[in-house]
């Protein structure tokens, strides 16, 4: 929106550059004064000539008075023209000022009244992706992979898409198709373990735990793997191990964040359970 307003302001300024100069252009003051002086001198010469003719007897008093009145009338008319010219200049300047103010205001008023303000928002330029479009894209990807089953990256993308859509059983199948790629990526292993656990009833025991352990071998500080490892340990009642995994993750979180506070509560709960377990003389299962 800012870029649009700047461009609009530049265009208005360019328009005013063409409109205002003719209205603001001033005539030369000296030229105007010279014209007035010449006219006054002509009138004086003509009046002196009338006086000479009257004194010489070549002009009657009646003709003299008539001639003088005619000169006075012309002098007054010229003065009126000069006043009108000055008034016109004043009006032109006032018009220039009004145009300079009103053109931008009128343009803004028209746009804000008739224009489409939401269209100036950066979000308006972004295509809207609906759930239906996402399903269509995932379906097209699955169809393409059926024709190109060796595209491991494509299968991994499809698996993550299925997982994000809550289609966990299909996600597990897709992760299996990308097994060679998944086995080398800690994040993919963690995602595979989570999808598998949810698809099989929510437990991390068995293969999900194996996938998590392999993820931690590749990337010991992987956040998702640490969360799942702590959850798996807590599920099998190895509370001390759960606290250890979560404490490693806690170091990666901003101290004042909601995630850090929630994880801190889980760690305290795990420590309390571990202490209670120790007092009873029970060893955590392996």
Mean pLDDT of the chain: 76
Return the SS3 of 65. helix
pLDDT at residue 55, as a whole number = 74
Higher pLDDT, 137 or 111: 137
pLDDT at residue 28, as a whole number = 44
Position 256 pLDDT exceeds 80: yes
Domain at 131-279, CATH from 1.10.3210.10, 3.40.50.920, 1.10.8.60, 1.25.40.10: 1.25.40.10
Task: Provide, rounded to the nearest whole percent, the portion of the chain with pLDDT above 70.
Answer: 57
Of all residues in the chain, what percent are helix, strand and coil, respectively (each to 5)? 80, 0, 20
Task: Count CB atoms within 10 A of the CB of residue 231.
Answer: 19
Angle between helix axes 2-24 and 61-114 (nearest 10 degrees) is 180
Distance CA(249)–CA(58), nearest Å, equals 124
Distance CA(78)–CA(82), nearest Å, equals 6
Q: What digits encode the pLDDT tens for the residues 16-75?
A: 555 556 545 544 444 444 455 555 556 566 666 766 767 777 767 777 677 767 766 666
Q: Are the C-beta atoms of residues 225 and 219 closer than 8 Å to each other?
A: yes
What are the angstrom distances between the C-alpha of 4 and each of 15, 43, 121? 17, 62, 10
What does the domain layout of the chain look like in residue ranges? 2-124, 131-279
Q: What is the pTM of this model?
A: 0.56
C-alpha 62: how far from its chain's center? 87
Return the SS3 of 59. coil
| pLDDT tier at 82, thresholds 50, 70, 90 | very low
| pLDDT tier at 130, thresholds 50, 70, 90 | confident
Mean local confidence (pLDDT), 78-91: 51
pLDDT at residue 29, as a whole number = 43
pLDDT at residue 140, as a whole number = 92
Q: Are the C-beta atoms of residues 229 and 212 closer than 8 Å to each other?
A: yes
Task: Provide, rounded to the nearest whole percent, the portion of the chain with pLDDT above 90.
Answer: 45
Q: What digits encode the pLDDT tens for the residues 171-181?
A: 999 999 999 99
pLDDT at residue 280, as a whole number = 80
Closest of 172, 141, 179 to residue 157, by C-alpha: 141
C-alpha 99: how far from its chain's center? 32
pLDDT at residue 132, as a whole number = 80
Tokens matching residue 237: 């009642």
Position 96 pLDDT exceeds 70: no
Secondary structure (DSSP) of 38-85: HHHHHHHHHHHHHHHHHHHTSS-HHHHHHHHHHHHHHHHHHHHHHHHH
Contacts of 44-51 with C-beta under 8 Å, sequence gap 24+, read 46/71, 47/71
Q: Are the C-beta atoms of residues 178 and 159 closer than 8 Å to each other?
A: yes
pLDDT at residue 263, as a whole number = 93
Give the least confident one: 129-133, 179-183, 209-213. Answer: 129-133
Tokens matching residue 282: 């029970």
pLDDT at residue 44, as a whole number = 63
Higher pLDDT, 259 or 12: 259
Range 111-121 burial, b when 16+ CB lie within 10 A, else e: eeeeeeeeeee
Tokens matching residue 216: 């931690």
């Amino acid at each position: 929106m800012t870029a649009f307003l700047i461009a609009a302001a530049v265009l208005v300024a360019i328009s005013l550059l063409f409109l205002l100069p003719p209205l603001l252009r001033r005539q030369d003051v000296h030229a105007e004064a010279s014209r007035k002086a010449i006219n006054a001198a002509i009138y004086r010469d003509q009046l002196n000539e009338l006086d000479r003719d009257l004194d010489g007897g070549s002009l009657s008093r009646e003709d003299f008075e008539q001639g003088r009145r005619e000169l006075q009338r012309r002098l007054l008319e010229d003065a009126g023209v000069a006043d009108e010219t000055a008034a016109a200049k004043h009006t032109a300047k006032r018009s220039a000022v009004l145009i300079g103010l009103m053109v931008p205001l009128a343009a803004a008023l028209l746009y804000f009244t008739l224009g489409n303000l939401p269209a100036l928002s950066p979000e308006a330029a972004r295509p809207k992706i609906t759930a239906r479009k996402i399903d269509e894209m995932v379906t097209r990807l699955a169809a393409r992979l059926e024709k190109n089953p060796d595209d491991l990256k494509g299968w991994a993308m499809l698996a993550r898409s299925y997982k994000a859509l809550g289609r966990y059983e299909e996600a597990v199948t897709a992760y299996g198709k990308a097994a060679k790629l998944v086995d080398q990526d800690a994040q993919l292993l963690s995602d595979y373990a989570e999808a598998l656990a949810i698809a099989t009833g929510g437990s991390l025991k068995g293969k999900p735990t194996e996938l998590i352990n392999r993820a931690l071998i590749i990337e010991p500080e992987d956040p998702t793997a640490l969360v799942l490892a702590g959850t798996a340990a807590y599920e099998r009642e190895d509370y001390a191990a759960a606290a250890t995994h979560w404490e490693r993750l806690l170091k990666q979180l901003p101290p004042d964040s909601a995630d850090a506070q929630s994880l801190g509560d889980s760690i305290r709960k795990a420590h309390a359970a571990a202490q209670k377990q120790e007092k009873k003389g029970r060893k955590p299962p392996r």
